[in-house]
Structure 1
């Protein structure tokens, strides 16, 4: 009997279990590469800005540096259509390029002071998010193409584990490093330079270790049209920005003037409410304009990918559900770091140990537990059970904000030195904070694992990058777009009411999930059988 050969590499195929383990290992490492820059434009950046003394509303608006994550489906088709280096396959060249560019940008951001050059700092943050979102497009497409349907539940768990480990490093251990009293006393620029070096290591891994994927179908779109279409969409986005800046912002001021003039809000908060309405009007203007530009320019890869997705039963309803499923979770977490550091007055080391290190390890545990439970529950029941737990976890932060620090006593974390992280002296850990973070991270990890498996189930291999980018862009709407509203609302109504609102926002997704139970169950994979559209 002859040994089967890989049809693309002409070499013996590995043992199935060994090959599966290798695929899952690669998925976990790519998850780490994805999570590293995400934290550096999110919670780590918020911590840096909080320590620099910026106000909550400004920090909330600076969460908009993550805007590219919600629009990445506009340029994802180029990554489906073009190969940078054909000998590396459709995905690897893009992956190495984005990771090297990220390394350079993080090094440059480390040299930019937030207070002294806030506009340049914000611009660099946007560019980092753009390249990071592009890396995510490739990683999502690669792992979706790599994992057979039966491995996607566990693969999603390991991917969550990877990026949560990265967030432990960049968003948790980094807080301990920067604590001058009990930590290592590092500066934030030093932290960002280290993360740049790690991104170089990720690029080396991508270049040398990633397995080759089966050859994709030959593209049917015209390359020239795709390039022109991309430029047309970007021009539409730039036009939308200018219209928002010069026309819609003054219009928002006129619309809100009767309400704002009679309110007791500060001048700064009044300005933020105007900015928020202008942002929403700008989105409503820009998205239809970009769609029209794509059709006129015959951006066939984008249009074909979207048409293929919307040909599925319940496609539009799925998009709305994708926005809503993590909305309450994202709303509660949008300003979690400033809430804990400024409103609750926890120390950087305490937040780093509890919310970022212990909490993120619990998220990893929740993700792995979620992947295992999905084997028993199935996709729909897992989404429902984990979604209920996510909603309930937001009430924990309402309780923490209402009861205050020290309501359950404190534990003492002994001093330690684990090479990459150390505490120079014993540090008190608030018991209430520890309890709330435990529940929130376990439930959030389980929900994320089920959610990623759901997104993978909705994509078609020919348009993996385009379709997964579309779905994950909608999924990131909550994480990115609620930041400005969260900052304004927290200052307007107070933190306890803010967390009640975040809990209420989680309920519509559960209602939709019940209404969509039949089409979601149709996506569930029978062991040994692939979905028809995969």
Structure 2
């Protein structure tokens, strides 16, 4: 019976990893491909990258989803069913829209998709922590979650491009993904094993928590309109067709909204958020670690921000080629890189791993510069025979560009290694009392580069071209490497403290 219960829990973790990974590409690279084939310009595609902003702010509403329970549905399974049902409905609605003819409406629904996806991630992480109550299950559970997550990204980020190429229809692909999420919602509600969460982050008033969250939203909107108003008074037109002016508005709105949101949250005493943030910033070097987290994969984020658009619009690769090379093969290589990075970290200290993998990430960006200079077909091609895997098929043999495969291989392997080192840093920085909120905060900051470089990348590429852009991605990776080198002593100290804490836990266990 114990074995069956453990198998049920681990199967649930695998399934939820898949459900969590499926929407990510649909707000990122798959969406980029749809925009590219629908005729949307590169700068606008870059601005569409901002729809992923909810992933960087999920820690703000994580305490509310941890505290409140949907009526009759259960605390974890209820939120899972609601977010997954919302994702299904949103994807089905998006399948009936055109990004080129209805850009504003399409972007609004895409933002909602990202919000629901980020919210699902919060609950999936909490469910996994509650379900795997035996420490012996943690390692296997984490591996199953990552495997399910990456498998879903192959479906929505790789196979989806092949389907879109064969069907000549991205709306049909999004409708299918919506159906899959609808099935996931039903499975979450009726088949997932129930879990019992033992404690809440703080014993504060629920009314005050909601009021604090509402005040924080008031701060966000106040900052947004304040920035727009000030720039308008200075003579800038928010409706200007100049992409640099559009970018100025975006950056100013974000810069004003964040501090005002924090200030309003403090005024309204949003206790769960304030206590968890205060706990983190009480650590020595907290601000420096946050800066390192943002900078560490910034060059990687720049290089990858417009990869799909670059390959389809810039080099005229077909969607099927991009799906097979960049998404299916690329994601498996990322998994391989993560395994290699994990194995190396058994021998390397956190500092050495971060420094070595950061340098490798920087060097890998030269690959995109090389393919931008040499172009498609420079190194010949590799034949891919026809295949039929029931859910996806290739009717005729296709050729894959060998230079593209080489660049994708190096970039994904080094990126996977860098991700492992970064995740190890995030885990070491978490306070055990606020693990969920701290990890949501730190992982959100780790996603800042991936989300917010996109509009800058789009405007920059339109101005200087692909070759100069990828050289710039190498230069922008340097601060992360330098920051890692400068923080050698704090990183070594953090690693030693984390190891000592783990040893103490095992003795008490």
TM-score (norm 1): 0.86
State the 1:399 CA deviation.
Answer: 0.9
Give the direction of change, closer, same or farther, for the CA distance of 1:198–1:130 in structure 2 (3 Å limit). Answer: same
Compute the displacement of 1:157 (Å): 5.2
Shift of 1:204: 3.8
Structure 1 residue 413, shift from structure 2 partner: 1.0
CA 1:323/1:157 → structure 2, altered by over 3 Å: closer, same or farther? farther
CA distance in 2, matches of 1:369, 1:29: 25
The residue that corresponds to 1:75 in the other structure is: 61
* Superposition deviation, residue 214 in structure 1: 4.9
- Rounded to whole Å, the distance in 2 between the matches of 1:205 and 1:375 is 37
Which stretch shifts more, 350-359 or 278-287? 278-287
Which of 180, 188, 192 aligns to 1:209? It is 192
Change beyond 3 A, Cα 1:344–1:87: closer
Aligned to 1:376, what secondary structure does the other structure show? coil
CA distance in 2, matches of 1:153, 1:80: 23
Aligned partners of 2:217, 2:341: CA distance in 1, in Å? 39
Instruction: Pick one of 27, 52, 55 that aligns with 1:41.
Output: 27
Q: Which of the numbers 42, 47, 53 marks the counterpart of 1:61?
A: 47
**1:107 aligned onto 2:98:** no
The 8 Å contact of residues 397 and 499 in structure 1, kept in 2 or not, is answered as yes
Whole-angstrom distance in 2 between the partners of 1:524 and 1:211: 32
What does the per-residue CA deviation read over 1:62-82, in whole Å, with 9 as the maximum and x for residues that have no partner?
A: 111112122222222212332
The counterpart of 2:161, out of the listed 165, 168, 175, is: 175
Q: How far apart are 1:483 and its partner, in Å? A: 0.6
Q: Contact 1:35–1:164 (CA<8 Å) still a contact in 2?
A: yes
* Higher mean C-alpha displacement, 328-337 vs 146-155: 146-155
Using a 3 Å threshold, how does the CA distance of structure 1 residues 520 and 510 change in structure 2: closer, same or farther? Answer: farther
- 1:2-41 aligned at under 5 Å gives the runs 19=6, 26-41=12-27
Partner of 2:169: 187
User: What is the CA–CA distance in structure 1 between the aligned matches of 2:52 and 2:65, rounded to whole Å?
Assistant: 20
Per the alignment, do residues 131 and 401 of structure 1 end up closer, same or farther by CA in structure 2, a change over 3 Å counting?
Answer: same
Cα shift at 1:147:
7.4
Is 2:107 aligned against 1:122?
Answer: yes
3-state SS of paired residue (1:341)? helix
Q: 1:276 to 1:465 in 2, by over 3 A?
A: same
Shift of 1:530: 3.3
Matching residue of 2:150: 164
CA distance in 2, matches of 1:50, 1:437: 20
> Cα deviation per residue 1:15-43 (whole Å; 9 max; x = unaligned)?
9xx95x77665544333222211110111
Q: Matches of 2:9 and 2:87 in 1, distance apart? A: 25
Paired position in structure 1 for 2:494: 520
Quote the offset at 1:370 in angstroms.
Answer: 2.6
Q: CA-to-partner distance for each residue in 1:346-390, whole Å, 9 max, x for gaps?
A: 111111111111111111222233333333334433333322222
Tell me the distance in 1 between the aligned counterparts of 2:62 and 2:286. 19
Q: Is the 8 A contact 1:63 1:480 kept in 2?
A: yes
Are 2:216 and 1:233 aligned? yes
How far residue 243 of structure 1 moved from its aligned partner, in angstroms, is 2.3
Q: Distance in 2 between matches of 1:163 and 1:251?
A: 46
Select 2:374's aligned residue among 403, 425, 440: 403
- Residues 403, 531 of structure 1: alpha-carbon distance in 2 compared, 3 angstrom cutoff: farther
Once the two structures are superposed, residues 262-295 of structure 1 have per-residue CA deviations (whole angstroms, 9 ceiling, x without a partner) of xxxxx95xx1111212222222221121111111
Aligned residues: 502
Once the two structures are TM-superposed, the CA of residue 218 in structure 1 deviates from its matched residue by 7.2
CA RMSD of aligned residues (A): 2.9
Q: Distance in 1 between matches of 2:68 and 2:304?
A: 37
- Match in the other structure for 2:478: 507
Q: Which residue of 1 aligns with 2:505?
A: 530
Structure 2 residue runs without a partner (length 5+):
none
Q: C-alpha displacement at 1:451, in angstroms?
A: 2.1
Q: Is the 8 A contact 1:40 1:170 kept in 2?
A: yes
Q: Does 1:285 align with 2:243?
A: no
1:389 matches 2:360: yes
Give 1:451-470 correspondences, 5 Å limit. Answer: 451-470=422-441
Residue 268 of structure 2 corresponds to 297
How far the C-alpha of 1:511 sits from its partner, in A, is 2.3
User: Paired residue for 2:307?
Assistant: 336
Q: 2:321 aligns with which of 321, 327, 350?
A: 350
Paired residues of 2:386 and 2:398 also in contact (CA < 8 A): yes
Encode CA deviations 1:238-271: one digit per residue, 9 max, x unaligned.
22222233333564839x9xxxxxxxxxx95xx1
Q: Distance in 1 between matches of 2:254 and 2:404?
A: 37
> Structure 1 residue 247 and structure 2 residue 218: aligned?
no
1:409-488 to 2 correspondence within 5 Å? 409-488=380-459
